[in-house]
A and B are shown apart, each in its own frame.
Chain A
Amino acid sequence: MAMFAVLSFAMAGFSVIVYQHYERIQKLNDYALYQYEVIRQSRVVLMDLVDMETSVRGYLISGDKSFVQPYQSARNMLNADITILRNHTFRDEGAAREVYAWLDRIRTFRKVLDDQVENKTVNPRTRVSMADLDRQRAEMDQLRRMMETSIVKRLIEVRKQIAVKHDERSNFIYTIVIGNVVIIGILLMGTLTIVNLEGRYEKSVLKHEQAEKRYREVIEGINDGLFEYNFVNETLYCSPGYKALLGYKDYEFESSFRNYQDHLHPEDRDGALSDIRRYVEGDTDSYNSVFRMRHRNGHYIWILARGVGVGDDFSAMKLLVGTHADITEQKEHEEELRQLNGELETFTYITSHDLRSPLVNLKGFSRELELSVKEVSDLVRLHADKIPPEDIKRLNFTLDTDIPEALGFIAKGVERMDSLTKGILDLSRIGRRVFRLSEVDAQAVFDKCKGALGYDITQKQIEVICQPLPVLVTDALALEQIFGNLLDNAVKYLRPDVPGRIEVSWRETSGSYVFTFADNGRGIDEADRTKIFEIFRRARNTEGVTGLGLGMAYVKATLRRLSGGIWFESAVDEGTRFHFRLPKRIETAETETDMSPDGTVDAATEGTRI
């Protein structure tokens, strides 16, 4: 394209140059012609004057009247010729002035001639003096010289012009030659470009065809249906695959928007149509819609429709082109999953309620029992004198040692069971928890967690080194729980014989923050690697430290919900480095999930519970 523009400009420029040259040469031609004309006319005038003079001379000398006739005709001619000369020169100021000067002299000269002719006619006898004739001749010569000089000047001028014209002409030729060479060059380049473009075009066509073929194969291969909905004339094209999804042969399903609407599930119709509308009106960036359509056999299948709008560069969308995919199977799985989730929720409810219910009794009545035993021992002590001593001994042993021991174990068991059921419940709630994203100062959160463990840290003289932590957008409570658990574990599982050292660092990657908690503690055996994040499971070398095996499961679940991750490297008796990743986010007023609002009441009702 650029080539053609350059070519057009070159052609236009060249034309202008050629035209200017032509104009200049034409002007030179006109000028030369004018000069020649002036010279010629000047000569004609001079000839008239010469004719007049010779006729008068002849008449004066011979007295022959026949000389008067040519004198008269030359005189008449002179008038006409001078008029012509003036007409020629009136535009040329210099020439006009020159002619005007001549005219004065010509008039005088003519007067002299006229007088002499008149004298001779009145007095034929009068003799002409030689002196008069000489004067006449001198006058004539002067006039002739004057005019000849002018003519010679003009001739010189014309010669000069001719020389210039010659140069111009050769310039003109050069211009034409160069111009032609340039144009031919440009044309040649243009041709080459066109040939090149053509080659590329062919290649791209080939590529395009291959791509289209591939695309067709893919579409046919995955059994998706294609549609093209034209808003301008409200037509709908449906591919055979589209119809096949619904159980129709190509000719059985009418390709129309009305027919599409008729096949939509009544409950999904409004949603599906509004999805299209919202995309067309620009409310959504992509057309992505899920709805049910009636199969030929009467049942409904789930369709995932995706598409893009096609329009002119400068106008609104004209077409919506896209695919229909049968996602019935996914939807069934989803439904199954939902049911499973529901069952899981029921399960957690049962664990929290039904399992805790007997615990209330166990714990409550063991306490009652304890009180009863106390009462019995009091009574026994009161009536000790009425009971044989060996029985007292047995009674005391039972009442003071056996029963309290049994009750102690029962209480411990109940407590543990209570913690476990609570743990399950907490873990299950992460899934429904609503996260609030806000700017969180990680340093402040860490300091808080460190503060909570302050007693242990000072007591065990643990060195905690923390690189200054960033401010990031995340859920503050979640971050506190993650930091808290990691720090708590690091403190709990230090080796008793080595001074504890915990190091916290972080780094920033393109999409996330990675925090590292490194300790020089017991380390985790390779065999326990998977256990670490499993609920109720603990590594083998955790003896002497109480724990339920919930913390890391909780951290992992929380990070999963926040689209982060956790991993570690470790060696037994050397230490462990836990790394966790939190994605970078933008602060939003909205909450992270659209789950049920359970999580939100959690905090709100906390204070009201007794």
Chain B
Amino acid sequence: MIGMFNEQFTMVMIEDDEGHARLIRKNLERAGIGNPVIHFDDGAKAIDYFFHRGMTKDQHDKTLVLLDLNLPNIDGYEILRRIKTDPATRAIPVIVLTTTDNPREIDRCYELGCNVYITKPVEYDSFSDAIRKLGLMLAVVKVPHSAKG
């Protein structure tokens, strides 16, 4: 399953903290998720990538987003809202990955249509575990799309 996942998806990571980005990559690799990762450290750049490059729906279908909420220029909520309201990008799974476990934020993210919300754990092992679970779940979630594409 993870193999399938590896072959087909590009991960778009929107994360302004250099360290976190690095840790996420390292842990994904360690979890065996070797997909290509495109990293944006700025909300505006991510918006530019999704909406101003004339990408097709097919291309979007092979994308998965790891999204931080606190971002410079355009914050994570806005990116989430844009992705989930645009018909071309609506199907992209969005995983909100943030340090806060504020219930209000979690609620707001689910309202905006995020697929999964993960609190970045300080505890290293649980973080890896979460990423691993995430990889598994993404594979399951994306099966119908992969069949089509």
Contact = CB atoms under 8 A, between A and B. Distances in A.
Interface in A553-610: 596, 598-599, 601-602, 605, 608-610
Contacts of B118: 609-610
Given A353-B98, A602-B103, A364 B124 contact: yes
B104 A598 contact: yes
A17 to B, nearest CB: 90
B103 A610 contact: no
A414 interface: yes
Interface residues of B, number: 29
A368 B127 CA distance: 13
A367 B124 contact: yes
B106 A605 contact: yes
A356 B19 contact: no
B23 A352 contact: no
Interface in A354-401: 354, 356-357, 359-361, 363-365, 367-368
Nearest to A606: B103
Contacts of A139: none
A349 interface: yes
B122 interface: yes
A568 B98 CA distance: 41
A343 interface: no
Contacts, number: 79
A598 B102 CA distance: 9
A122 to B, nearest CB: 153
* Most chain B CB atoms below 10 A, which of A361, A365, A429, A602: A361
Given A601-B104, A605-B110, A608-B117, A353 B70 contact: yes
B20 interface: yes
B28 interface: no
Nearest to B116: A610
A418 interface: yes
Interface in B1-47: 17, 19-20, 23, 26
Contacts of B26: 368
A405 interface: no
* Most chain B CB atoms below 10 A, which of A349, A356, A599, A608: A356
A610 B130 contact: yes
A212 interface: no
Contacts of B145: none
Contact of B106 (A353, A429, A599, A601): A601
A402 interface: no
A415 interface: yes
Contacts of B121: 360
B122 to A, nearest CB: 5
Interface string B97-130: 0111111101100100000111111111001001
Given A414-B122, A610-B116, A610-B130, A364 B19 contact: yes
Contacts of A352: 99-102
Contacts of A609: 101, 106, 117-119
Contacts of A425: 101-102
A430 B141 CA distance: 37
Contacts of B17: 357, 360-361
Given A360-B120, A418-B122, A609-B117, A601 B107 contact: yes
A10 to B, nearest CB: 82
Contacts of A415: 122
A363 B133 contact: no
A124 B112 CA distance: 162
B134 interface: yes
A609 B26 CA distance: 22
Nearest to B123: A363
B111 to A, nearest CB: 10
A360 B19 contact: yes
B23 A598 contact: no
A93 B102 CA distance: 118
Contacts of A365: 19, 23
A477 B18 CA distance: 40
A602 B102 CA distance: 9
A431 to B, nearest CB: 13
Contacts of B127: 364
A397 to B, nearest CB: 25
Contacts of A353: 70, 98-100, 102
Contacts of B107: 598, 601, 605
A347 to B, nearest CB: 13
Contact of A361 (B20, B101, B116): B20
Interface in B74-99: 98-99
Nearest to B118: A610
Given A353-B70, A610-B133, A605 B20 contact: no
A602 B119 CA distance: 14
Contacts of A602: 103
B146 to A, nearest CB: 22
A356 B122 contact: yes
A363 B123 CA distance: 7
B134 A356 contact: no
A601 B107 CA distance: 7
Contacts of A367: 124
B23 A368 contact: yes
Nearest to B119: A609
Contact of B99 (A357, A601, A608): A357
Contacts of B23: 360-361, 364-365, 368
* Most chain A CB atoms below 10 A, which of B70, B98, B104: B104
Nearest to A367: B124
Contacts of B110: 605, 608
A15 B76 CA distance: 102
A367 B23 CA distance: 10
Contacts of A360: 17, 19-20, 23, 99, 120-122
B103 A356 contact: no
Contacts of A361: 17, 19-20, 23
Contacts of A363: 122-124
A374 to B, nearest CB: 13
Nearest to A348: B102
A418 B126 CA distance: 14
Contacts of A364: 19-20, 23, 124, 127
* Most chain A CB atoms below 10 A, which of B100, B118, B124, B127: B124
A368 B19 CA distance: 11
8 contacts: A353-B99, A356-B99, A360-B99, A367-B124, A368-B26, A598-B103, A601-B103, A609-B118
For the complex of A and B, 10 pairs with smallest distance between CB atoms: A361-B19, A364-B23, A367-B124, A356-B99, A353-B100, A601-B103, A418-B122, A601-B107, A363-B122, A602-B103
Given A360-B20, A361-B20, 12 more contacts: A352-B102, A353-B99, A363-B123, A364-B124, A364-B127, A365-B19, A368-B26, A605-B106, A605-B107, A608-B110, A609-B118, A610-B134
